[in-house]
Each structure stands twice: as C-alpha cells, then as structure tokens.
C-alpha cells in the first residue's frame, strides 16, 4: 500500500475477503464496513450504531472478530476479512445458520449477520461453550427483537450439532 | 467528518517525525475504538491518523525478568490470551477482559486506554497499582512518566508535541503480591464504569501484615487517581475485614465524584467503599496464593 499523506488521496487496499483476493480504492477515513458494503457490494454486514456498541457490523479480521465500523478500510490491507457472505458452504447453510432458523433466533434480521459471525468465531475457539460463556461472548452484539434467549439456544444447538462425530461411511 | 489521511509508519522515528510536523492535527492510534467515535462525533478534527501497529516496539508484549512490557498498541485480547501473563498479572487481566465486548477487545489497547485519559478508563487503575511506567518517545528523545501522573484531566495527558507512548512497563511485583480490579456498571458487560477500584497488596512472610499497598480509583475524579492516604493507611496493618473496611472509607474520602447520567455523587462514594473492600479481598487471596 502506498503511504500518502495528502488528505484526499485514495489508498489501494489489497486483502483477502472470504477466501478470495480483493482489491479496492478506499478513502483514508472510510471504514471497513463502508468498503465492504459500498466498494465490494457485500451488504450482508449491517450498519447499526456506527460507534462500536451494537455489533451488527461484526466481521473477522485475521480470525478475530471486530466491529468493522471501527476499522479503517486501509487497515485491512494485507489481511484476511471474513464476512457473513463467506459463512455458508455451497448449496447449504452453516450449522449456526440452520440453528438460527430452527430456533427462530431472529425477527427483523439486522443483527443476525453480526451474531452469526461472532458465534462462529466462538465455536471455532471453544466448541462447547456453556450458556454463560455464550452470553458473555455475544455481549458486544445487540438484538432489540428476540430477547437473546433464542439466540443463545441456537448457538447451543449448533454447538452440539457441530460436536457430533461425522457420520460413518462418508466419502 | 473532516477528511484525514492515514499513515502507517514502520519505525518510531518516522512516527515521531510525522506527529511533530503535524502537531495537534495528527494523532497516533492503535485500535481506533475511541478515536473514530470521537472524530465522527465532531469532538475534534484531524488531518492525519497515524497507525502505530506497524511499529515493532508498540506491538510487543513480553515478560521481562518478572516484569511486563506492554507495547502501546497491543490489543487487550493478546494480553489475556497469554497464559504466562494471565498467571502473573491477574489484576491487569481483570481490566483487559472487561473493556467493551470481544469485538472491542480484539482492537483496543491499554496504551490507547491510557492516552485517551478518560476518568473512567478501566485499564488505567490496575496499571497504577502495579506502579507502571509509561515509556515515551518524542523529538527530544525518550522519557518516562509514572502512569498515575500521565493523565492530567478528562481527555488530557502529559504527551508533548510529537511525542507518543511507546510501551507501558510494569516492574516485577514484590513477593506475596496480589492485585485486582472491579468496577460497577448497571449491565453485566459493555458499559462505562460508574466507579471502579484497583487494589494491590503485598504481605510479609507470615501473611500477617501488609507491607505495601496501592489503591487507585476510576470515574470519581478528573483522572484515574492513586488513593494515597488509603494506600498509606494499609501499610503494616493486618489484612482483615476491619482493615479493608476502614481503607474503603478513607478511599471514598479521597474521591471527588461528580453526579451525571451514570450515577450520583453519593452512589459513587458508596461504590468506592464497597469496591475497595471487595478488590482488597481478591488482591489478598491472590497474594496468598502467589509464588
């Protein structure tokens, strides 16, 4: 990335988004959230508060969940970004997405991509978290519809699905 | 928002040069979790944000002969995920693991928490009770500032033009030492402290008397404050419930809280008393089980 100090010069950012190489021009003050939605058309990541309180814009940056509204797009240069768009396998759903549907863990849906990305990061680190741990991990994600219980149950359900041994006789 | 440029220097010299040249129109940042919010709210305008995360000195975390060096840009998550740091500095971990949520902890640094100089900063009081030193670098070279003298008012600190915080150094704790931090918020997580207290004690060989103590208070004055009289009171005292209750009263007398949307003055004074007692009890338990 070129280091430009002139305020209006755009910066070329090259990063990995959901496993694919991406390159875009970012204004220096542009957030990663804006770049994802506007430059890359990845509108699954939502803007809620734009100040780091609600977690609707949660993405993983080099494997750690962050509020993408509080990351400058320029900071993503050379990094890996994982968004909700990269979560489902081809022709299916991630177990967390399936569990959110089955537990009715969403109503308006604005917070859902952030919850899913955050919960996925939790289960990757800790495959069988208890309820307290799930609630603590998801404290940075706000939901104004569900009252959280269904979301917590969905994460527990996905956790037990994902912890089951793979069926025998598979390819 | 006023447009600003983004610069990511690779050396301290380069960072200092940019900050010196641009003066108040540029600021260094690490996790950006405070500064982007402040810029969007129009609290101030900048022409440049200087990302410190490519500077090796600000991103290193190392245990050093029993002490700890925390680069100014090291995020909270790296501190509490380090098993050795967690074992040796549990009082610091108390704070690193409750600042914001997981998303914020992925980015926010204790260095940034200190430079932001909020009276309610959760990360600062534990540093104060560890007698931490802020290592600064500027156009004139290097200098040190004690963490308790670093913040000079709400949002103000001792940094001069062109100067930045490089790292925070915690000296090796004495033997039989324990520290703890607790705060009160109306929710369980993700809130700003109504009041907070960090305590540290070191015991004599029999565990019968306190040989050194430091207490620091958050959100009850213009800066995080070292409660000097309460700390001095504890010296030589037996580590009992009665001693801790008295220390709580003295600590409250050293607080000068305001009333605001988060709490009244009376509530905050009561919280200081309670949190002083509670954190001293945790610090004592940790001191008794330390090496």
Fold type of domain B177-289 = Enolase-like; domain 1 (3.30.390)
Query: What is the number of CB-based contacts under 8 A between chain A and chain B?
Result: 100
Q: Measured between alpha carbons, how far is residue B109 from residues A60, A122, B97, B262, B291 in Å? A: 18, 21, 11, 24, 28
Residue A147 has pLDDT above 70, yes or no: yes
Query: What confidence score (pLDDT) does residue A58 get?
Result: 98
Q: Average pLDDT of chain B?
A: 97
Phi, psi values for residue A153, rounded to 5°: -60, -40
The verdict on A70 touching B (C-beta cutoff 8 Å) is yes
CATH fold match for the domains A11-86 and A95-163: no
Cβ neighbours of B48 in A, within 8 Å = 5, 7
Cβ neighbours of A71 in B, within 8 Å = 32, 107
**CATH class of the structural domain B5-51:** alpha beta
Residue A3 has pLDDT above 70, yes or no: no
Tokens for B170, please give them. Answer: 């915690």
Phi, psi values for residue B247, rounded to 5°: -60, -35
Query: What confidence score (pLDDT) does residue B288 get?
Result: 97
More confident residue, B188 or A142: A142
Mutate to test the interface with A, among B1, B2, B3, B6 (most CBs of A within 10 A): B6
Residue B180 has pLDDT above 70, yes or no: yes
Determine whether the interchain pair B101/A141 forms a contact, defined as Cβ–Cβ distance below 8 Å.
Answer: yes
- Quick: pLDDT tens for B21-33: 999 999 999 999 9
Domain A95-163: homologous superfamily in CATH: [2Fe-2S]-binding domain (1.10.150.120)
pTM of the full structure: 0.95
Q: What's the pLDDT band for A168 if we cut at 50, 70, 90?
A: low
Helix axes B265-289, B241-254, angle to 10 degrees: 140
- Quick: pLDDT tens for B231-281: 999 999 999 999 999 999 999 999 999 999 999 999 999 999 999 999 999
Query: What confidence score (pLDDT) does residue A2 get?
Result: 46
Interface of B with A in 252-281 (CB under 8 A): none
Query: What confidence score (pLDDT) does residue A1 get?
Result: 45
Q: What's the pLDDT band for A166 if we cut at 50, 70, 90?
A: confident
Residue B145 has pLDDT above 90, yes or no: yes
Interface of B with A in 231-250 (CB under 8 A): none
Residue B34 has pLDDT above 80, yes or no: yes
Determine whether the interchain pair B106/A61 forms a contact, defined as Cβ–Cβ distance below 8 Å.
Answer: yes
Nearest CA in chain B to A1: B8
User: Predicted ipTM?
Assistant: 0.95
Residue A63 has pLDDT above 70, yes or no: yes
What's the rounded Cα separation, in Å, for the pair B159 and B166? 11
What's the rounded Cα separation, in Å, for the pair A36 and B167? 33
The verdict on B33 touching A (C-beta cutoff 8 Å) is yes
- What is the rounded average pLDDT of the residues B148-170? 98
Determine whether the interchain pair B6/A11 forms a contact, defined as Cβ–Cβ distance below 8 Å.
Answer: yes
Tokens for A72, please give them. Answer: 């400058």
Determine whether the interchain pair B5/A27 forms a contact, defined as Cβ–Cβ distance below 8 Å.
Answer: no
The verdict on B31 touching A (C-beta cutoff 8 Å) is yes
- Give the architecture (CATH level 2) of B56-170: 2-Layer Sandwich (3.30)
- Quick: pLDDT tens for A102-134: 999 999 999 999 999 999 999 999 999 999 999
The residues with which B69 forms a beta bridge, in sequence order, are: B62, B169
Tokens for A147, please give them. Answer: 């009252």
Nearest CA in chain A to B26: A5
- Quick: pLDDT tens for B101-115: 999 999 999 999 999
What is the domain partition of chain B in residue ranges? 5-51, 56-170, 177-289
Residue for token digits 């797009």? A73
> Sign (positive/negative) of CA torsion A94, A99, A104, A108?
negative
Residue for token digits 């007692």? B277
Phi, psi values for residue A22, rounded to 5°: -135, 145
* Number of alpha carbons in the 13 Å side-chain half-sphere of residue A137: 27
Q: What's the pLDDT band for A142 if we cut at 50, 70, 90?
A: very high
- Angstroms from B30 CA to nearest CA on chain A: 10
Query: What confidence score (pLDDT) does residue A171 get?
Result: 46
More confident residue, A5 or B5: B5
- What is the rounded average pLDDT of the residues B75-99? 97
Residue B175 has pLDDT above 80, yes or no: yes
What is the domain partition of chain A in residue ranges? 11-86, 95-163
Q: Which of A143-147, B74-78, B129-133, B135-139 has the lowest mean pLDDT?
A: A143-147
- Quick: pLDDT tens for A92-104: 999 999 999 999 9
- Percent of chain B with pLDDT strictly greater than 70: 100
Residue B183 has pLDDT above 50, yes or no: yes
Residue B289 has pLDDT above 80, yes or no: yes
Fold type of domain A11-86 = Ubiquitin-like (UB roll) (3.10.20)
Residue A158 has pLDDT above 80, yes or no: yes
Q: What's the pLDDT band for A8 if we cut at 50, 70, 90?
A: low
Determine whether the interchain pair B5/A137 forms a contact, defined as Cβ–Cβ distance below 8 Å.
Answer: no
């Amino acid at each position: 990335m070129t280091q430009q100090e002139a305020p209006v010069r755009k910066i070329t950012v090259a990063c990995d988004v959901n496993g694919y190489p991406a390159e875009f021009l970012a204004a220096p003050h542009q957030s990663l959230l804006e770049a994802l939605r506007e430059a890359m058309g990845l509108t699954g990541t939502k803007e809620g508060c734009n100040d780091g309180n609600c977690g609707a814009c949660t993405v993983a940056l080099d494997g750690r969940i962050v509020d993408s509204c509080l990351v400058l797009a320029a900071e993503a240069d050379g990094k890996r970004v994982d968004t909700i768009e990269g979560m489902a396998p081809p022709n299916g759903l991630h177990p967390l997405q399936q569990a959110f549907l089955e537990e009715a863990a969403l109503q308006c849906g604005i917070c859902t991509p952030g919850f899913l990305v955050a919960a996925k990061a939790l289960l990757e680190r800790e495959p069988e978290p208890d309820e307290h741990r799930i609630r603590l991990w998801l404290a940075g994600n706000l939901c104004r519809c569900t009252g959280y219980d269904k979301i917590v149950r969905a994460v527990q359900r996905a956790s037990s699905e994902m912890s089951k041994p793979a069926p025998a006789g598979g390819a | 928002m006023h447009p600003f440029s983004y610069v990511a220097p690779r050396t301290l010299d380069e960072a200092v040069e940019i900050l010196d040249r641009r003066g108040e129109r540029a600021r260094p940042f690490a996790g950006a979790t405070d500064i982007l919010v402040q810029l969007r709210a129009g609290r101030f305008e900048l022409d440049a944000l200087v990302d410190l995360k490519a500077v090796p000195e600000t991103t290193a975390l190392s245990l050093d002969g029993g002490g700890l060096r925390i680069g100014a840009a090291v995020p909270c998550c790296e501190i509490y995920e380090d098993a050795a740091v967690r074992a040796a500095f549990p009082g610091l971990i108390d704070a690193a693991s409750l600042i914001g949520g997981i998303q914020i902890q992925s980015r926010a640094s204790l260095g940034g928490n200190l430079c932001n100089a909020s009276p309610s900063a959760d990360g600062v009081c534990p540093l104060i009770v560890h007698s931490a030193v802020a290592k600064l670098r500027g156009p004139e070279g290097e200098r040190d500032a004690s963490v308790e003298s670093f913040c000079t008012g709400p949002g103000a600190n001792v940094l001069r033009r062109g100067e930045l915080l490089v790292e925070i150094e915690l000296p090796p704790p004495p033997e039989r030492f324990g520290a703890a931090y607790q705060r009160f918020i109306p929710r369980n997580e993700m809130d700003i402290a109504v009041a907070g207290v960090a305590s540290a004690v070191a015991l004599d060989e029999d565990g019968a008397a306190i040989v050194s103590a430091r207490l620091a208070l958050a959100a009850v004055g213009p800066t995080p404050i070292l409660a000097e009289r309460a700390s001095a009171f504890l010296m030589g005292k037996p580590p009992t419930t009665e001693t801790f209750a008295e220390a709580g009263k003295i600590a409250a007398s050293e607080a000068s809280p305001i009333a605001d949307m988060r709490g009244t003055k009376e509530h905050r004074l009561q919280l200081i008393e309670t949190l002083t007692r509670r954190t001293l009890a945790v610090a004592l338990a940790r001191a008794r089980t330390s090496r």
